[in-house]
Protein backbone atom coordinates (compact mmCIF):
# COMPACT_ATOMS: atom_id res chain seq x y z
CA UNK A 1 0.00 0.00 0.00
CA UNK A 2 2.88 2.35 0.82
CA UNK A 3 4.46 2.66 -2.61
CA UNK A 4 1.25 3.52 -4.51
CA UNK A 5 0.44 6.22 -1.96
CA UNK A 6 3.88 7.81 -2.33
CA UNK A 7 3.72 7.57 -6.09
CA UNK A 8 0.24 9.06 -6.07
CA UNK A 9 1.45 12.02 -4.05
CA UNK A 10 4.10 12.71 -6.66
CA UNK A 11 1.42 12.62 -9.32
CA UNK A 12 -1.01 15.09 -7.75
CA UNK A 13 -1.36 18.48 -9.47
CA UNK A 14 -0.69 20.29 -6.18
CA UNK A 15 2.65 18.55 -5.70
CA UNK A 16 3.65 19.06 -9.33
CA UNK A 17 2.97 22.79 -8.85
CA UNK A 18 5.09 22.82 -5.71
CA UNK A 19 7.98 21.18 -7.48
CA UNK A 20 7.97 23.86 -10.18
CA UNK A 21 7.72 26.89 -7.87
CA UNK A 22 9.98 28.66 -5.42
CA UNK A 23 9.03 26.17 -2.71
CA UNK A 24 10.54 23.26 -4.61
CA UNK A 25 13.22 22.59 -1.98
CA UNK A 26 10.65 22.36 0.78
CA UNK A 27 8.31 20.34 -1.39
CA UNK A 28 11.06 17.88 -2.20
CA UNK A 29 11.68 17.36 1.49
CA UNK A 30 7.94 17.01 1.91
CA UNK A 31 7.65 14.21 -0.61
CA UNK A 32 10.68 12.40 0.76
CA UNK A 33 9.10 12.62 4.19
CA UNK A 34 5.87 11.23 2.88
CA UNK A 35 7.69 8.28 1.33
CA UNK A 36 8.79 7.43 4.85
CA UNK A 37 5.32 7.90 6.25
CA UNK A 38 3.76 5.81 3.54
CA UNK A 39 6.24 2.95 3.52
CA UNK A 40 7.48 2.56 7.09
CA UNK A 41 4.18 1.17 8.32
CA UNK A 42 2.87 -2.26 7.53
CA UNK A 43 -0.64 -1.00 8.15
CA UNK A 44 -3.24 -1.53 5.50
CA UNK A 45 -4.03 2.16 5.16
CA UNK A 46 -7.52 3.53 5.08
CA UNK A 47 -9.09 0.14 5.63
CA UNK A 48 -7.13 -0.50 8.83
CA UNK A 49 -9.33 -1.19 11.85
CA UNK A 50 -8.70 1.49 14.47
CA UNK A 51 -9.20 -0.41 17.72
CA UNK A 52 -10.50 1.59 20.68
CA UNK A 53 -7.61 0.55 22.93
CA UNK A 54 -4.58 2.78 22.46
CA UNK A 55 -0.88 2.58 23.20
CA UNK A 56 1.26 5.26 24.81
CA UNK A 57 3.88 7.03 22.76
CA UNK A 58 6.14 6.26 25.69
CA UNK A 59 5.65 4.89 29.19
CA UNK A 60 5.85 7.92 31.42
CA UNK A 61 4.29 8.37 34.82
CA UNK A 62 6.94 10.83 35.94
CA UNK A 63 5.06 13.86 34.63
CA UNK A 64 2.73 13.56 37.64
CA UNK A 65 3.42 15.11 41.01
CA UNK A 66 3.12 13.12 44.24
CA UNK A 67 -0.57 13.93 44.77
CA UNK A 68 -1.49 13.03 41.20
CA UNK A 69 0.43 9.75 41.45
CA UNK A 70 -1.42 8.91 44.66
CA UNK A 71 -4.78 9.65 43.02
CA UNK A 72 -3.90 7.61 39.94
CA UNK A 73 -2.88 4.72 42.19
CA UNK A 74 -6.21 4.80 44.02
CA UNK A 75 -8.21 4.94 40.77
CA UNK A 76 -6.29 2.01 39.32
CA UNK A 77 -6.37 -0.06 42.53
CA UNK A 78 -10.11 0.50 42.95
CA UNK A 79 -10.66 -0.65 39.40
CA UNK A 80 -8.56 -3.76 39.95
CA UNK A 81 -10.56 -4.63 43.06
CA UNK A 82 -13.78 -4.26 41.07
CA UNK A 83 -12.45 -6.45 38.24
CA UNK A 84 -12.47 -3.60 35.72
CA UNK A 85 -10.54 -4.39 32.50
CA UNK A 86 -7.51 -2.30 31.60
CA UNK A 87 -9.55 -0.33 29.08
CA UNK A 88 -11.80 0.85 31.91
CA UNK A 89 -8.81 1.96 33.97
CA UNK A 90 -7.60 4.07 31.04
CA UNK A 91 -11.03 5.67 30.62
CA UNK A 92 -11.18 6.49 34.33
CA UNK A 93 -7.71 8.07 34.40
CA UNK A 94 -8.41 10.12 31.26
CA UNK A 95 -11.69 11.31 32.76
CA UNK A 96 -10.02 12.40 35.99
CA UNK A 97 -7.29 14.18 34.03
CA UNK A 98 -9.94 16.20 32.21
CA UNK A 99 -12.28 16.84 35.13
CA UNK A 100 -9.83 17.73 37.88
CA UNK A 101 -6.31 17.48 36.53
CA UNK A 102 -6.10 14.20 38.50
CA UNK A 103 -6.49 16.09 41.79
CA UNK A 104 -8.95 15.55 44.61
CA UNK A 105 -10.30 19.09 44.71
CA UNK A 106 -13.11 20.38 46.92
CA UNK A 107 -14.55 22.81 44.38
CA UNK A 108 -15.82 22.90 40.81
CA UNK A 109 -18.70 23.92 38.59
CA UNK A 110 -21.81 24.41 40.72
CA UNK A 111 -21.60 21.71 43.42
CA UNK A 112 -19.08 19.46 41.63
CA UNK A 113 -16.21 18.16 43.76
CA UNK A 114 -13.51 15.50 43.73
CA UNK A 115 -11.48 13.66 41.16
CA UNK A 116 -14.37 13.15 38.76
CA UNK A 117 -16.23 16.39 39.61
CA UNK A 118 -19.28 14.48 40.75
CA UNK A 119 -22.28 16.42 42.07
CA UNK A 120 -24.09 15.58 45.31
CA UNK A 121 -27.24 17.14 43.87
CA UNK A 122 -27.16 14.61 41.01
CA UNK A 123 -27.07 11.58 43.28
CA UNK A 124 -23.36 10.78 43.30
CA UNK A 125 -23.19 10.83 47.10
CA UNK A 126 -22.48 13.32 49.83
CA UNK A 127 -19.60 15.77 49.57
CA UNK A 128 -17.74 13.76 52.20
CA UNK A 129 -18.24 10.54 50.25
CA UNK A 130 -17.24 12.05 46.90
CA UNK A 131 -14.09 13.52 48.43
CA UNK A 132 -12.99 9.95 49.22
CA UNK A 133 -11.02 9.01 46.05
CA UNK A 134 -11.79 5.30 46.38
CA UNK A 135 -15.52 6.02 46.70
CA UNK A 136 -15.61 8.45 43.77
CA UNK A 137 -13.61 6.00 41.63
CA UNK A 138 -16.00 3.17 42.45
CA UNK A 139 -18.97 5.36 41.54
CA UNK A 140 -17.38 6.23 38.21
CA UNK A 141 -16.71 2.58 37.42
CA UNK A 142 -20.25 1.62 38.46
CA UNK A 143 -21.57 4.20 36.02
CA UNK A 144 -19.27 2.96 33.28
CA UNK A 145 -20.42 -0.63 33.71
CA UNK A 146 -23.99 0.53 33.09
CA UNK A 147 -23.06 1.79 29.61
CA UNK A 148 -23.82 -0.90 27.05
CA UNK A 149 -20.84 -1.66 24.84
CA UNK A 150 -18.47 0.75 26.62
CA UNK A 151 -15.52 -1.56 25.95
CA UNK A 152 -15.84 -0.97 22.19
CA UNK A 153 -16.53 2.77 22.32
CA UNK A 154 -13.99 5.50 21.63
CA UNK A 155 -12.70 6.67 24.99
CA UNK A 156 -14.33 10.09 24.81
CA UNK A 157 -17.76 8.56 24.11
CA UNK A 158 -17.49 6.11 27.01
CA UNK A 159 -16.39 8.85 29.41
CA UNK A 160 -19.14 11.18 28.23
CA UNK A 161 -21.79 8.50 28.70
CA UNK A 162 -20.91 8.50 32.41
CA UNK A 163 -20.08 12.17 32.97
CA UNK A 164 -22.52 13.95 30.62
CA UNK A 165 -20.12 16.86 30.31
CA UNK A 166 -20.73 20.12 28.52
CA UNK A 167 -17.52 19.36 26.61
CA UNK A 168 -18.11 15.80 25.39
CA UNK A 169 -15.04 15.53 23.15
CA UNK A 170 -12.52 16.92 25.63
CA UNK A 171 -11.60 13.54 27.14
CA UNK A 172 -9.94 12.28 23.96
CA UNK A 173 -6.86 14.48 24.29
CA UNK A 174 -5.90 12.76 27.54
CA UNK A 175 -5.95 9.23 26.14
CA UNK A 176 -2.23 8.92 25.45
CA UNK A 177 -1.26 10.19 28.89
CA UNK A 178 -3.84 7.96 30.56
CA UNK A 179 -2.53 4.84 28.82
CA UNK A 180 1.01 5.78 29.86
CA UNK A 181 -0.06 6.15 33.48
CA UNK A 182 -1.91 2.83 33.52
CA UNK A 183 0.98 1.08 31.76
CA UNK A 184 3.46 2.57 34.22
CA UNK A 185 1.35 1.08 37.02
CA UNK A 186 2.04 -2.38 35.63
CA UNK A 187 -1.05 -2.97 33.51
CA UNK A 188 -0.46 -4.60 30.15
CA UNK A 189 -1.40 -2.52 27.13
CA UNK A 190 -0.30 -5.14 24.62
CA UNK A 191 -2.26 -5.48 21.42
CA UNK A 192 -3.26 -1.83 21.25
CA UNK A 193 -2.95 0.70 18.46
CA UNK A 194 -1.13 4.03 18.53
CA UNK A 195 -3.13 6.72 20.28
CA UNK A 196 -1.55 9.73 18.66
CA UNK A 197 -2.38 9.22 15.02
CA UNK A 198 -4.19 7.15 12.45
CA UNK A 199 -2.17 4.43 10.67
CA UNK A 200 0.68 6.04 8.72
CA UNK A 201 -0.55 4.92 5.32
CA UNK A 202 -3.98 6.41 6.02
CA UNK A 203 -2.40 9.69 7.09
CA UNK A 204 -0.40 9.82 3.86
CA UNK A 205 -3.54 9.09 1.85
CA UNK A 206 -5.42 11.85 3.71
CA UNK A 207 -2.65 14.31 2.87
CA UNK A 208 -2.80 13.29 -0.77
CA UNK A 209 -6.51 14.10 -0.85
CA UNK A 210 -5.97 17.44 0.89
CA UNK A 211 -3.22 18.41 -1.57
CA UNK A 212 -5.46 17.54 -4.50
CA UNK A 213 -7.87 20.27 -3.36
CA UNK A 214 -5.28 23.06 -3.83
CA UNK A 215 -6.76 25.73 -6.10
CA UNK A 216 -10.38 25.16 -5.06
CA UNK A 217 -12.19 28.13 -3.47
CA UNK A 218 -12.62 28.87 0.21
CA UNK A 219 -16.32 28.58 1.09
CA UNK A 220 -17.57 29.32 4.61
CA UNK A 221 -19.07 26.07 5.95
CA UNK A 222 -17.82 24.15 2.94
CA UNK A 223 -16.94 20.47 3.27
CA UNK A 224 -16.31 19.78 -0.42
CA UNK A 225 -15.98 18.64 -2.99
CA UNK A 226 -16.15 22.05 -4.71
CA UNK A 227 -15.20 24.38 -1.84
CA UNK A 228 -13.97 24.24 1.74
CA UNK A 229 -13.52 26.15 4.93
CA UNK A 230 -10.43 25.41 7.03
CA UNK A 231 -11.84 22.52 9.06
CA UNK A 232 -14.08 21.31 6.24
CA UNK A 233 -10.97 20.49 4.21
CA UNK A 234 -9.74 18.21 6.99
CA UNK A 235 -13.11 16.52 7.45
CA UNK A 236 -13.36 15.91 3.70
CA UNK A 237 -9.82 14.57 3.34
CA UNK A 238 -10.30 12.02 6.10
CA UNK A 239 -13.71 11.03 4.78
CA UNK A 240 -12.30 10.34 1.34
CA UNK A 241 -9.84 7.80 2.77
CA UNK A 242 -12.48 6.01 4.82
CA UNK A 243 -12.65 7.78 8.19
CA UNK A 244 -15.31 9.90 9.83
CA UNK A 245 -13.93 12.60 12.12
CA UNK A 246 -15.89 13.01 15.35
CA UNK A 247 -15.64 16.82 15.30
CA UNK A 248 -16.34 19.40 12.60
CA UNK A 249 -15.04 22.86 13.54
CA UNK A 250 -11.52 24.06 14.32
CA UNK A 251 -12.35 24.91 17.94
CA UNK A 252 -13.46 21.34 18.63
CA UNK A 253 -10.48 19.88 16.78
CA UNK A 254 -8.26 21.94 19.07
CA UNK A 255 -10.18 20.79 22.14
CA UNK A 256 -9.68 17.07 21.49
CA UNK A 257 -6.16 17.12 20.04
CA UNK A 258 -3.16 15.90 22.00
CA UNK A 259 -0.71 18.83 22.34
CA UNK A 260 2.56 18.48 20.44
CA UNK A 261 5.71 20.45 21.19
CA UNK A 262 6.59 22.94 18.42
CA UNK A 263 9.31 21.43 16.29
CA UNK A 264 8.03 17.90 16.96
CA UNK A 265 5.13 18.06 14.51
CA UNK A 266 4.87 15.49 11.76
CA UNK A 267 2.76 15.02 8.62
CA UNK A 268 -0.94 14.98 9.42
CA UNK A 269 -0.66 17.03 12.62
CA UNK A 270 -2.82 20.13 12.96
CA UNK A 271 -1.73 23.74 13.40
CA UNK A 272 -4.13 26.01 15.30
CA UNK A 273 -4.21 29.81 15.17
CA UNK A 274 -6.44 32.91 15.46
CA UNK A 275 -7.45 32.12 19.03
CA UNK A 276 -10.58 33.90 20.19
CA UNK A 277 -11.08 35.66 16.85
CA UNK A 278 -14.48 34.13 16.09
CA UNK A 279 -17.15 36.04 17.98
CA UNK A 280 -18.95 33.97 20.59
CA UNK A 281 -16.86 30.84 19.97
CA UNK A 282 -13.77 30.38 22.16
CA UNK A 283 -10.72 28.54 20.92
CA UNK A 284 -8.86 28.36 17.61
CA UNK A 285 -10.69 29.98 14.71
CA UNK A 286 -8.32 28.53 12.10
CA UNK A 287 -6.67 25.17 11.47
CA UNK A 288 -4.08 23.97 8.95
CA UNK A 289 -2.65 20.51 8.24
CA UNK A 290 1.07 19.81 8.41
CA UNK A 291 2.32 18.35 5.14
CA UNK A 292 5.90 18.32 6.35
CA UNK A 293 7.45 20.34 9.19
CA UNK A 294 7.59 23.88 7.85
CA UNK A 295 4.93 23.35 5.17
CA UNK A 296 1.13 23.14 5.56
CA UNK A 297 -2.01 22.91 3.45
CA UNK A 298 -4.99 25.11 4.32
CA UNK A 299 -8.26 26.61 3.21
CA UNK A 300 -7.33 30.15 4.34
CA UNK A 301 -10.23 32.62 4.10
CA UNK A 302 -12.77 34.14 1.74
CA UNK A 303 -11.05 35.33 -1.41
CA UNK A 304 -8.14 32.92 -1.17
CA UNK A 305 -8.15 29.40 -2.60
CA UNK A 306 -6.95 26.24 -0.89
CA UNK A 307 -3.16 26.44 -0.88
CA UNK A 308 0.08 25.18 0.56
CA UNK A 309 2.31 27.58 2.46
CA UNK A 310 5.22 27.70 4.84
CA UNK A 311 4.51 28.53 8.48
CA UNK A 312 6.29 29.81 11.58
CA UNK A 313 4.70 28.50 14.77
CA UNK A 314 6.19 31.09 17.11
CA UNK A 315 5.78 34.11 14.86
CA UNK A 316 2.17 33.21 14.04
CA UNK A 317 1.16 32.31 17.60
CA UNK A 318 0.25 28.76 16.62
CA UNK A 319 -0.12 25.61 18.66
CA UNK A 320 0.25 22.06 17.36
CA UNK A 321 -2.11 19.16 18.02
CA UNK A 322 -2.41 15.54 17.02
CA UNK A 323 -5.82 13.95 16.58
CA UNK A 324 -6.26 10.86 18.77
CA UNK A 325 -7.21 7.65 17.01
CA UNK A 326 -10.46 7.65 18.98
CA UNK A 327 -11.62 10.72 17.02
CA UNK A 328 -11.58 8.77 13.74
CA UNK A 329 -14.12 6.06 12.95
CA UNK A 330 -13.76 3.71 10.00
CA UNK A 331 -16.64 4.06 7.52
Other C-beta atoms closer than 10 Å to the C-beta of 236 total: 20
Render each residue's pLDDT in the chain as its tens digit; 331 residues: 233 333 344 344 443 443 333 333 333 223 222 322 222 232 223 222 222 334 443 334 446 888 999 999 999 999 999 998 888 998 999 999 999 999 999 999 899 999 999 999 999 999 999 999 999 999 999 999 999 988 878 888 899 999 988 888 888 888 778 877 887 775 544 434 333 444 478 898 999 999 999 999 999 999 999 999 999 999 999 999 999 999 999 999 988 888 888 888 999 999 999 987 666 667 889 999 999 899 999 999 999 999 999 999 999 999 998 888 878 888 8
Whether pTM > 0.75 for this model: the answer is no
**Chain centre to alpha carbon of residue 30:** 23
Q: Specify the 3-state DSSP secondary structure of 164.
A: coil
Express each pLDDT in 276-307 by its tens digit. 766 666 788 999 999 989 999 999 999 999 99
CATH-assigned architecture of domain 2-50+198-330: Alpha-Beta Complex (3.90)
Contact 96, 75 (CB under 8 A): yes
Q: What are phi and psi of 62, to 5 degrees?
A: -80, -10
Determine the Cα–Cα distance for residues 115 and 170; give it in Å rounded to an integer.
16
Residues in the chain: 331
Residue 279 confidence (pLDDT) = 61
Residue 152 confidence (pLDDT) = 77
Write the DSSP string, 194-255.
ESSSS-HHHHHHHHHHHHHTTTSPB-TT-BSSS-B-HHHHHHHHHHHTTEEES--SHHHHHH
Contact 138, 78 (CB under 8 A): yes
Residue 139 confidence (pLDDT) = 97
Amino acid sequence: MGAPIAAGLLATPAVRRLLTTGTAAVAGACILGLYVVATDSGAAGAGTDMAPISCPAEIDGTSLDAHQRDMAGIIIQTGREMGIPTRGLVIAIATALQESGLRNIDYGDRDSVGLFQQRPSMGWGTVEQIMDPAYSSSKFYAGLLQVAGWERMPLTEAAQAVQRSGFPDAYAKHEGHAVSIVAAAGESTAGCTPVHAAPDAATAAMLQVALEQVGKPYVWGGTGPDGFDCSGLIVYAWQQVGYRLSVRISQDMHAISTPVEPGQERPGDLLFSQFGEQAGVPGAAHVLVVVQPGLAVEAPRTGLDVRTRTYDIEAEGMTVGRLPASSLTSI
